[in-house]
Amino acid sequence: MKKVLIVLIACTFLFAGCEDEMTENPPGNTLEANAGVDQQVETNKQFVLDGSKSKDLAEKTFQYLWSIKSKPEGSTAALSDATTVSPKFTADKAGNYVIELKIHNNVFDDTDDVLITAMKANDPPLQDPVVINQDINQERRLTNVFNDPTIPDYLVTADIHVTGHLTIDPSVTIAFEAGKAMYIDNPGSINAVGWGDKDIVFTGKNKIPGFWKGLIINSSSTLNKLERVTVEYGGSSPSDGIEVAANLGMTSKGNLHLVASIIQHSAAYGMVVESGANWSADSFSNIFKNNQTPLRIRASHVNSVDGLSYFANNTLNRIEVLGGTVFDLMEVQWGRALTMDIPAKTVPYLIKGKVDVTSGLRIHKGVELQFDADAEFAVTPTGYLSAIGTAEEPIKFYGAESGIAGTWRGIAIKSSNDKNELTNVEVFNAGSEHLGGFDRKTAIGMDGENHAKLKLTNSKIGKSGGYGLFVENHAEIIGLTFTRFENNTDAAMALPANEVRKVNHMVATEFTGNGHNGIEIYGSVLLLPNDEASVWPALNFGATYLVSGYLGIQSGLKILPGAAFQFASGKGISVAGNGYLNAQGTDELKIVFTGLSETKGFWNGIHFQTNSDNNILRNAVVDYAGKISMSGPSASIYVGENVVSKLNITSSKIAHGAGFGLIIGTNLGTINNDFETVNQFEDLSLGNVYKITGL
C-alpha cells in the first residue's frame, strides 16, 4: 500500500511538471477503427471478422477488443479470440448481429460497428427486411436477401447519409418509411447496377406517390452510377439541397451517370437537377412516367436528355428548364424528348428565365421549346445557334400560352458566327418586353454592336408583341428566303438601310396580318464601302416598305419597279454625299412614295443634294409629302439647296403636297428641261414648281 502511495505521489509530481507542456500541445486521437463490411452469413457456420483495416495514423501499436452489441432473441453466440484482429463468430440464430470493434492504446480508443445478417441454410427466407437506421460511413454492399421481388430486402427507417462507398447488387429492393430519404454525401458514392430482369428498386414501404422523400445525390464522386434502377413513390417534400420535392435529386455538388432507369410515381418531380450539378451527358435510355412533372433541370443539362429516353403519362408531361448557361468545349446537342406512344410524340421543354448560349448549340429537328412569361433565349458573342428542322418536323419556339401574342421575350442573336441558322423553325408569341440589350420588342433581335449574323429560311414568325425580326445597324442577314411573317403587332421586319439590299434575294417571303405587312426601314444611313450600290425590290403580295425614321442615302440606291414606300409623319429621304437615288418604274409597275396616312403634307419628301447622273425618277408617284418647313417653303421634291445637285424626272406624278411639287435651286439645282411637261402635278397647295434664285 505504501509503495502504491509513493508511485502515485511520484506520478503527481511528474504530471504537474509537464502540465504546461501538455496544455500547449495536447495529443490528438489518431486511432481509426474499421470493423469491416456488413455481411450476410449462414447460421451455424463459423465466420471470421476482419479488423485489419483499422489503423493508427501515428503508426503506433494498439490493441483490439471485439464485443457483440446486439443479437437475436435466444441467441447464445459468443466471440472467440476477441482481442485479436480476426476473431471467430458463429451465428446460432437467424437475424441481425451488431458487433463492435474497439481499438485502444494507453490513452485513446475508437470504435466501429459491423452488421452481420444470419440466415438458415435451405430454409425459407426471413419475411422481415434488414433494417437500415444508421448512416453508412464505411464501404458497404447490399446484397439480395429475398428471392421474392415483392418483399423488400431492406427497410430504411431514418434519414440515411452515405459517406462511404455503397454498392447495391442486382435484384435488391430498398423500401423507405414515410418521409425518409437517402443522401449520398461527399466523400461517399453509390454504385447500383442491375442487369437483365434483375433491376434495383428504391420504393416506398407503401406504394403511394409521395410516401417517402427521395434519393439525393449530394456527392461529386465520378463513381456515382444508377443503371437499371427504379426510383418510385417518392417526392413527399423537398430534401436538403433541393428546392422542390422529387424521387431523384441532384444537388449543386451532385455527379451522376444514369442509364436505363425508371423514375416513376412521384407526387412532385420525377428528377430534379440543381445548378452546378453534373448529370453525365453519357446518360441514356431512361423512362420518366406517372410523375406530377417528369424532370426539372438547367439549360446546361438538356443535352443529357437523349433520344432513347421517354416521358409518358406524367400529369404535366413537359421538361422544366430553369434558364442557365449552355457551355461546352464542343458543340452542345439538344435532341427531341419523346413519349412512348407509337408513333412517338414530342414532349416540350418549358423554358423559365433566361438561357445564355455561350458555346455552339445545335437543336435537332422536331424539338419543341415552350417559354414561360418573359423567358428569353440569348446567343452570346462567343456562341452560335444552329436550329435546323425539316418541313415535316420543324423546331418550335412557342410561348407557353400559345394563343396570346407577346408572352415571352424572344431570341437575341449577339454572335457573328456564320453557323447561326434558323431553318424550318417556328417562332411564336414572343415580344413581351425588350430583349436584353435591345430597345425594341421583337421575336428575333440581331445585335449590331457585335455584328450579329443569321441565316433565316423556310420558317414562320408570328404573334410577336412587337416586330417579327429586328436587325440593328451593322448586323447582317446571311439569307432570308421562304419565310412567313404573320400576325405580329408591329412590322414584320425592321431593318437598317444597309441591310435592305438583302431583300433583293428574298424568295417567297410572305407577310400576313402584321401591324405593317412588309419591311420597316428605321432611321439610318445607306452607306456601303467601295461605292457599292444597293438594289431594293418590290415586296411580295402587295407588301410595302415603311420608312419610320429619316433615311439618308450616301451610296448608290436602285429601286426596282413595283416597290412601294410609306413614310411616317415628318420623315423623308435625303440623298447626299456620294449617293444617288435611281427609281425607275414601268407603266404597269410604278414606284410609289407616299405617306402612311393619306393626309396632305404628312411626310417631308425627297431632297436631292448630289450631282449624280443616276438621280432618276421615272414612272414614280410622290404623294402626300411637303410637310411644312420651318426654314422656308416646303416641297414634295427638293433639288439643289446648298449643294450642286441633279435630277432627271419623267413620266411621274407629284400630288397632294402641302407645299410645292418641286423646289429647284436655279444656280445649284439641275433638272431636265421638259420636267414640267412630261410629269403630272396635282393638288399641290403652293403650286407646281418654285425656282430659287441667288443660290
Longest CA–CA separation in the chain, Å: 145
What is d(CA 88, CA 560) in angstroms, rounded to the nearest whole number? Answer: 101
pLDDT grade, residue 1 (50/70/90)?
Answer: very low
| 530 shares a domain with 636 | yes
34 with 102, same domain? yes
Give the CA distances from residue 539 to residues 503, 527, 548, 563, 688, in Å, rounded to whole numbers and listed in that order. 8, 22, 17, 7, 31
Do residues 76 and 214 share a domain? no
Q: Is residue 318 located within the same domain as residue 171?
A: yes
User: pLDDT for 605-637, tens place per residue?
Assistant: 999 999 999 999 999 999 999 987 656 789 999
Q: Tell me the C-alpha distance between 328 and 91, whole Å.
A: 56
pLDDT at 264 over 60: yes
Whether 304 and 274 have beta carbons less than 8 Å apart is answered as no
Strands in 95-104's sheet, in edge-to-edge order, are 39-42, 109-119, 95-104, 63-70
In a domain, 238, yes or no: yes
- C-alpha–C-alpha distance, residues 34 and 29, integer Å: 15
CB 659 within 8 A of CB 632: no
Look up cell 457551355; give the residue. Answer: 327
Length of the chain: 695
Q: Does a structural domain hold residue 460? A: no
- Torsion angle of alpha carbons 208, 212, 213, 219, nearest 10°? -120
Residues 149, 277, single domain; the answer is yes
- Distance between CA atoms of 207 and 202, rounded to whole angstroms? 11
Rounded to an integer, the average pLDDT of 427-435 is: 96
The pLDDT, as a whole number, for residue 123 is: 54
- Its domain, for residue 171, covers 124-322
Bridge partners for 476 per DSSP: 453
Q: What pLDDT was estimated at residue 122?
A: 63
DSSP labels, 478-496? EEEES-EEES-SSEEEEE-
91 with 154, same domain?
no
What is the predicted pLDDT for the residue at 5? 31
Residues 594 and 663 in one domain: yes
pLDDT at 3: 33
pLDDT at 127: 66
The pLDDT of residue 2 is above 50: no
User: Is 378 among the domain residues?
Assistant: no
Q: Is the pLDDT of residue 665 over 90?
A: no
| Residue 348 per-residue DSSP state | P
H or E stretch including 675?
helix 675-678
Q: Would you say 327 and 302 are in contact if contact means Cβ atoms under 8 Å apart?
A: no
Q: What does 265-307 look like in DSSP terms, one character per residue?
A: --SSEEEEE-TT-EE-TT-B--EEESSSEEEEE-GGGGGGS-T
Examine residue 331 and state whether it is found in any structural domain, yes or no: no
pLDDT at position 579: 95
- pLDDT classification of 374: cutoffs 50, 70, 90: confident
Same domain, 134 and 89: no
Last residue of a domain, one of 261, 292, 322: 322
Looking at the DSSP assignment, which residues form a beta bridge with residue 154?
130, 174
Q: Is residue 81 located within the same domain as residue 132?
A: no
Nearest to 442 by CA among 473, 400, 405: 405
- pLDDT score at 83: 92
Amino acid found at 184: I
Nearest to 385 by CA among 354, 352, 423: 423
Mean pLDDT rounded to a whole number for the chain: 91
Can you say how many angstroms the Cα of residue 604 is from the centroid of all Cα atoms in its chain?
A: 47
Name the domain count of the chain. 3
Tell me the sheet residues that pair with 635: 660
Domain end (from 95, 119, 143): 119
93-97, 214-218, 508-512: which has the minimum mean pLDDT? Answer: 93-97
Cell numbers at residue 439, please?
Answer: 430597345
Say if residue 113 is in the same domain as residue 227: no
- Could you say which of 277, 306, 322 is where a domain stops? 322
Beta-strand relationship, 79-80 and 491-495: unpaired
Average pLDDT over residues 222-241: 97
User: CB of 110 within 8 A of CB of 29?
Assistant: yes
Mean per-residue pLDDT, 505-534: 91
Residue type, 345: K
Q: Residue 678 has what DSSP assignment? A: H
* Cα 561 from Cα 558, distance rounded (Å): 10
In this structure, what C-alpha cell is assigned to residue 257?
451517370
Q: Please give the order of strands across the beta sheet that includes 687-692.
A: 524-526, 551-553, 572-575, 605-608, 635-639, 660-665, 687-692
Q: How confident is the model at residue 38 (pLDDT cuts 50, 70, 90)?
A: confident
Q: Write the pLDDT tens digit of every residue in 293-334.
A: 999 999 999 999 998 999 999 999 999 999 999 999 999 999
Contacts of 490 (CB under 8 A, 6+ apart): 441, 442, 464, 466, 467, 514, 515, 516, 520
- Is the Cβ–Cβ distance between 265 and 232 less than 8 Å? yes
Query: Which residue blocks in 335-492 are alpha helix, DSSP H?
Result: none
What's the pLDDT tens digit per position in 112-154? 988 888 877 665 545 689 999 999 999 999 999 998 888 999 9
Question: Any idea what the CATH number is for the domain that residue 61 is in?
Answer: 2.60.40.10
- Which of 318, 323, 331 has the alpha carbon at shortest distance from 298? 323
Q: Are residues 646 and 664 in the same domain?
A: yes
The pLDDT of 581-592, averaged and rounded, is 97
Contact 297, 273 (CB under 8 A): yes
Closest by Cα among 635, 629, 632, 623 to 671? 635
Give, as one character, the DSSP assignment of residue 651: S
Phi, psi for residue 462 in degrees, rounded to 5: -150, 160
In a domain, 220, yes or no: yes
- Mean of the pLDDT values across residues 470-496? 95
| CB neighbourhood size of 386 (10 A) | 17
Which of these ranges, 46-55, 373-382, 420-429, has the smallest mean pLDDT? 46-55
Residue 5 lies in a domain: no
User: What pLDDT sits at residue 404?
Assistant: 82
In a domain, 259, yes or no: yes
pTM (two decimals): 0.79
Measured distance CA(550)–CA(607) in Å, rounded = 11
The three cell numbers of residue 357 are 448560349
> Tell me, what's the pLDDT at 23?
38
Verify cis geometry, omega within 30 degrees of 0, for the bond prior to 187: yes
Distances (CA, A) of 74 to 117, 123, 125, 155, 480: 16, 19, 19, 23, 86
DSSP string, 18-73: THHHHHHS-----EE------EEEETTSEEE---TT-EETT----EEEEEEEE--T
C-alpha to C-alpha distances, 72 to 66, 95, 132, 419, nearest whole angstrom: 18, 6, 16, 70
Q: Of 33, 176, 175, 52, whose CA–CA distance to 105 is shortest? A: 33
Same domain? 57 vs 137: no
Residues 18-45, mean pLDDT to the nearest whole number: 72
Q: HEC profile for 169-180?
A: CCCCEEEECCCC
Q: How far is CA 551 from CA 521, 532, 540, in A?
A: 8, 18, 22
CA distance 207 to 233: 6
- Report residue 41's pLDDT band, with 50, 70 and 90 as the boundaries: confident
Residue 91: inside a domain, yes or no?
yes
